[in-house]
């Protein structure tokens, strides 16, 4: 068994990608006017080039050439700093780290299968 990596040993990378789905329908607060204003604000920000207005956030944990990513769509934040203050960021880092550790455990098991037992002379 190998020990699990910790956050301090892993490099985290945060990127955003364009969200394919329209923001309409993601807001269902029960207040149609407020929902329409929120969607209009997002669309205006997108038109001005602000990708943080409506995006998919990707958090990647990397170590020793191994990588594991966690995605969250339907995000609307002021900027990266705003997103990092949200609990979602910590949750995504934890999930990416857990995925990376699982990948490393699986690789370790595969490599153990290649071990050759030495016969005493």
| Stated pTM of the model | 0.85
Domain boundaries defined on the chain: 8-112
Q: pLDDT, tens digit, for every residue of 14-28?
A: 999 999 998 987 777
Sorted by sequence, the CB contacts under 8 Å of residue 80 that are 6+ apart come out as 14, 16, 52
Of 117 and 14, which is predicted with more confidence?
14
Q: Give pLDDT, residue 35.
A: 87
Of 48 and 108, which is predicted with more confidence?
48
Question: ∠ at Cα 82 (42, 6), nearest 5°?
Answer: 130
Of 31 and 87, which is predicted with more confidence?
87
Q: What is the mean pLDDT of the chain?
A: 91
Sheet order of strands, 55-63 included: 11-18, 55-63, 66-75
Full 3-state SS string of 37-96: HHHHHHHHHHHCCCHHHCEEEEEEEEECCEEEEEEEEEECCCCHHHHHHCHHHHHHHHHH
CA pair distance 17, 5, nearest whole angstrom: 27
Q: Give pLDDT, residue 62.
A: 98
Tell whether the model's pLDDT for residue 118 goes beyond 80.
no
């Amino acid at each position: 068994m190998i020990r699990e990596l910790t956050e301090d040993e892993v490099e985290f990378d945060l990127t955003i990608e364009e969200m394919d789905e329209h923001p309409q329908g993601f807001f269902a607060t029960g207040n149609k006017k407020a929902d329409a204003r929120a969607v209009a604000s997002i669309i205006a920000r997108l038109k001005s080039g602000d990708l943080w207005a409506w995006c998919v956030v990707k958090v990647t944990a990397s170590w020793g050439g191994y990588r594991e990513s966690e995605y969250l769509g339907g995000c609307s934040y002021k900027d990266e700093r705003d997103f990092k203050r949200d609990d979602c960021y910590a949750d995504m880092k934890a999930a990416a780290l857990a995925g990376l550790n699982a990948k490393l455990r699986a690789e370790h098991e595969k490599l153990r299968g290649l071990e050759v037992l030495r016969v005493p002379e």
